[in-house]
């Protein structure tokens, strides 16, 4: 029923033999939250599972985290902002467990800081719009109202888009 040691004897024998009862290995069932946006603030991660003990610790990749034992089925761990600075995935493990859980670090949403040109005359000719901002990726697209524009990725901070005369 519990981990430890027991002694096995046989009636009439002058000796006994040790028998070890091994605690079941911890397993991870899930994480809460399971994702965060890159560049967010530090947060508390809840690890749900089974067979946790007060000695069970949580690791983020190869980094050990300050861990609090809540119950045999729950741990919490402090995740510093430095571990979620970049988009990607992190492997979360607990000591003694044979499985891990993946934590998703979501890229921050794109933002627009300026447009060039910032205006056009009604009925004017088609033009190329430059969109300046942050967090653009190669698949980011520019829309004019509900119309998607042919977009060219220049960098993480700049896109260009072809605006047809019919939209002006």
| pLDDT for residue 166 | 96
- Residue 101: CB atoms within 10 Å: 19
CA 18 to chain centre: 45
Q: How confident is the model over 65-95, as pLDDT tens digits?
A: 999 999 999 999 999 999 999 999 999 999 9
Q: Using pLDDT thresholds of 50, 70 and 90, give the confidence band for residue 52.
A: very high
Of all residues in the chain, the percent with pLDDT exceeding 90 is 89
Whole-angstrom distance, CA of residue 24 vs CA of residue 33: 26
Other Cβ atoms less than 10 A from the Cβ of 112: the count is: 12
Torsion of CA 34, 36, 42, 45, to 10 degrees: 0
For 117-166, what is each residue's pLDDT tens digit? 999 999 999 999 999 999 999 999 999 999 999 999 999 999 999 999 99
Q: Is the pLDDT of residue 14 over 90?
A: no
Provide the whole-model pTM.
Answer: 0.73
Torsion, CA 77, CA 27, CA 105, CA 43, rounded to 10: -20
Q: Identify the bridge partners of residue 8 per DSSP, sorted by sequence position.
A: 17
């Amino acid at each position: 029923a519990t981990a430890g040691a027991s002694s096995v004897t046989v009636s009439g024998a002058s000796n006994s033999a040790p028998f070890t009862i091994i605690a079941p290995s911890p397993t991870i069932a899930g994480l809460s939250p399971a994702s965060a946006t890159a560049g967010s603030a530090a947060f508390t991660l809840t690890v749900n599972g089974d067979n946790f003990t007060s000695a069970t610790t949580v690791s983020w990749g190869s980094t050990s985290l300050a861990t609090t034992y809540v119950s045999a089925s729950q741990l919490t761990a402090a995740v510093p902002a430095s571990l979620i600075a970049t988009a990607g995935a992190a492997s979360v493990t607990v000591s003694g467990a044979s499985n891990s859980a993946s934590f998703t670090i979501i890229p921050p949403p794109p933002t627009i800081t300026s447009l060039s040109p910032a205006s056009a005359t009604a009925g004017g000719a088609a033009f190329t719009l430059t969109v300046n901002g942050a967090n653009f990726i190669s698949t980011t697209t520019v829309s004019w109202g509900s119309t998607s524009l042919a977009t060219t990725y220049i960098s993480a901070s700049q896109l260009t888009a072809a605006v047809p005369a019919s939209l002006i």
